[in-house]
């Protein structure tokens, strides 16, 4: 098709996510992607500075991943996962369990981050139900984001996404993100909530709240919240959809804490942007609450594409890449480079705050603006004109570059950020 034909068909039939079509400009047509770059119809390259929403951590069309996909598609591309299994799922399970926190034992497959959260919340509710308790309340952090399906929305604290649906939500009590200053207060809040309500679970984004503009908190503070929840018999759910698979410098953000979650939610970089897949993991204790002679005590939740062999094959290859010395070294290089540039950006008059964690670097601009307003669109377009794809979150400009980013590409990215700040 020509560029015009694609744009006309898109405008006529396609409803894009996170878009007010009456005011939005036409979406950019991407023809292909290779390495760390996206290419439009005129072959102009755009550096993928957010790894396409934190998924393409090993770049686009990575030969290791595409070869795994090609090999698998000729053998088995899909089969029902209820009552059947296959080698790609078993192989992935072995590799994933090998890098997960040591208490994780079981994997439940689905298709995206939201469904992984839905499954986690349902697991927690039924875990208590199967043990003779009805617990119907969830504790979540303020400004958290866990997805767009109803359970996930309920646990999320960003009203820009949730406003029209709040009357339909499950019962969620929110607590502040723990800091050095408020830690004792937050711990007391958990004490009070677990005394007043029948709390089933505590769900959180460990150490980095992505949709909240990459807000970060400290491992030692979160670890104390997890300890308090365990004391109260509250299951802890780590939403590592964004943070998982190397983003924070370790395989999982949960690796920074001594207290490990009971349940974990994984997606995005799990299959490195090749195809949709999610996994909800849990401890043996959680699984055992469902293991019974009575059929109804099982976990009756299922997705058509659960355990898809293609996704499993790609995910297994992705773990091989993640654990390779080349990728681990580059993750550490990007992490250190971000830290070295914090002082440079922080001293700029256009900057309010800078923070980094692993390969994530976030810059809060010293201006006030709406999350999805016209100023945000101007910033987005500035970077696109300069060959960089990123999506500002309100006044926060952030990058989560692929692990395959070269030192030269990283320096060009840093320089572009400085030029943008100067022009701002």
If you average pLDDT over residues 185-191, what whole number do you get? Answer: 98
CA–CA dist 325, 101 (Å, integer): 20
SS3 label, residue 228: helix
- Model pTM? 0.96
pLDDT score, position 275: 94
CA–CA dist 315, 56 (Å, integer): 12
pLDDT of residue 189 exceeding 70: yes
Question: CATH code for 65-322?
Answer: 3.40.640.10
Q: Which residue has the higher pLDDT, 363 or 374?
A: 363
Contacts of 198 (CB under 8 A, 6+ apart): 128, 133, 134, 135, 136, 137
User: What residues does each domain of the chain span?
Assistant: 3-61+325-423, 65-322
CA–CA dist 394, 296 (Å, integer): 46
Mind listing the pLDDT tens digit for each residue in 235-264? Answer: 999 999 999 999 999 999 999 999 999 999
Pick the CATH number of 3-61+325-423 from 1.10.3720.10, 3.30.2350.10, 2.40.10.340, 3.90.1150.10: 3.90.1150.10
CA distance readout (Å), 233 to 195, 238, 286, 380, 422: 12, 16, 12, 45, 52
DSSP for 230-277, please give it.
Answer: HHTT-EEEEE-TTTTTTTTSSS-GGGG-SSPPSEEEE-GGGGTTSS--
Mind listing the pLDDT tens digit for each residue in 262-300? Answer: 999 999 999 999 999 999 999 999 999 999 999 999 999
pLDDT of residue 162 exceeding 80: no
User: Of the candidates 287, 242, 244, which has an alpha carbon nearest to the alpha carbon of residue 262?
Assistant: 287
Contacts of 307 (CB under 8 A, 6+ apart): 81, 85, 86, 89, 109
Mind listing the pLDDT tens digit for each residue in 3-20? Answer: 999 999 999 999 999 888
Mind listing the pLDDT tens digit for each residue in 81-100? Answer: 999 999 999 999 999 999 99
Q: How confident is the model at residue 147 (pLDDT cuts 50, 70, 90)?
A: very high
pLDDT score, position 159: 64
CA distance readout (Å), 280 to 94, 323, 377, 421: 15, 21, 35, 40
pLDDT of residue 218 exceeding 90: yes
SS3 label, residue 211: coil
């Amino acid at each position: 098709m020509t560029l015009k034909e694609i744009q006309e068909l898109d405008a006529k039939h396609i409803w894009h996510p996170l878009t007010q079509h009456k005011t939005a400009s036409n979406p950019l047509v991407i023809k292909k992607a290779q390495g760390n770059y996206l290419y439009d119809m005129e072959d102009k390259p755009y550096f993928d500075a957010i790894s396409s929403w934190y998924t393409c951590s090993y770049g686009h069309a990575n030969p290791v991943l595409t070869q795994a996909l090609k090999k698998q598609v000729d053998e088995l591309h899909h089969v029902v996962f209820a009552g059947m299994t296959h080698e790609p799922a078993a192989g992935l399970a072995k590799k994933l369990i090998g890098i997960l926190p040591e208490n994780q034992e079981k994997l439940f497959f689905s298709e995206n981050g939201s469904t992984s959260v839905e499954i986690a919340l349902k697991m927690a509710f039924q875990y208590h139900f199967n043990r003779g308790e009805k617990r119907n309340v969830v504790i979540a952090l303020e400004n958290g984001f866990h997805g767009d399906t109803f359970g996930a929305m309920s646990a999320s604290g960003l009203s820009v996404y949730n406003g029209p649906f709040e009357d339909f939500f499950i019962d969620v009590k929110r607590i502040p993100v723990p800091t050095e200053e408020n830690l004792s207060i937050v711990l007391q809040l958990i004490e009070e909530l677990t005394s007043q309500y029948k709390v089933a679970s505590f769900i959180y984004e460990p150490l980095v709240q992505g949709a909240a503009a990459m807000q970060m908190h400290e491992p030692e503070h979160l670890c104390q919240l997890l300890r308090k929840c365990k004391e109260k018999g509250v299951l802890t759910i780590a939403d590592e959809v964004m943070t998982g698979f190397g983003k924070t410098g370790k395989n999982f953000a949960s690796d920074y804490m001594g207290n490990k979650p009971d349940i974990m939610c994984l997606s995005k970089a799990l299959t490195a942007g090749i195809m949709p897949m999610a996994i909800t993991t849990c401890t043996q204790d959680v699984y055992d609450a469902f293991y019974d002679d009575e059929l109804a005590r099982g976990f009756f939740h299922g997705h058509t594409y659960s355990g898809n062999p293609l996704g499993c094959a790609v995910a297994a290859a992705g773990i091989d890449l993640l654990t390779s010395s080349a990728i681990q070294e580059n993750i550490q290089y990007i992490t250190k480079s971000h830290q070295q540039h914090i002082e440079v950006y922080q001293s700029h008059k256009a900057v309010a705050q800078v923070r980094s964690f692993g390969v994530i670097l976030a810059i809060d601009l010293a201006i006030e603006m709406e999350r999805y307003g016209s100023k945000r669109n101007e910033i987005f377009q500035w970077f696109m004109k300069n060959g960089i794809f990123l999506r500002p979150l309100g006044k926060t400009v952030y990058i989560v570059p692929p692990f395959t980013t070269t030192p030269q590409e990283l320096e060009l990215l840093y320089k572009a950020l400085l030029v943008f700040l100067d022009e701002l």
